[in-house]
């Protein structure tokens, strides 16, 4: 941000700073990996966890009855 305050008179340099392609690849990779985790990894882990909790609850109810 300091650069933006100091050098407002050079639009070409400002464009190079703001649109740097070397930072785009990691950001796209991060978005892609977050999407994969959200859609394909976290739901099965949650389902397995809930299944185990339900199984333990049913086992405890069966032991009591």
Tens digit of each residue's pLDDT (9 = 90 or more) over 39-55: 999 999 999 999 999 99
Mean model confidence pLDDT for the chain: 82
Sign of CA dihedral 31, 29, 16, 5: positive
Q: Does residue 63 have a pLDDT over 90?
A: no
When pLDDT is cut at 50, 70 and 90, the band that residue 38 belongs to is: very high
Q: What share of the chain is helix, strand, coil (3-state, %, to 5)?
A: 85, 0, 15
User: Which pLDDT score is estimated for 19?
Assistant: 65
């Amino acid at each position: 941000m300091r650069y933006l305050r100091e050098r407002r008179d050079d639009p070409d340099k400002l464009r190079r700073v703001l649109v740097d392609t070397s930072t785009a690849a990691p950001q796209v990779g991060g978005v892609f990996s977050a999407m994969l985790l959200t859609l394909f990894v976290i739901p099965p882990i949650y389902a397995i966890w809930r299944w185990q909790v339900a199984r333990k609850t049913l086992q405890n109810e069966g032991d009591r009855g």
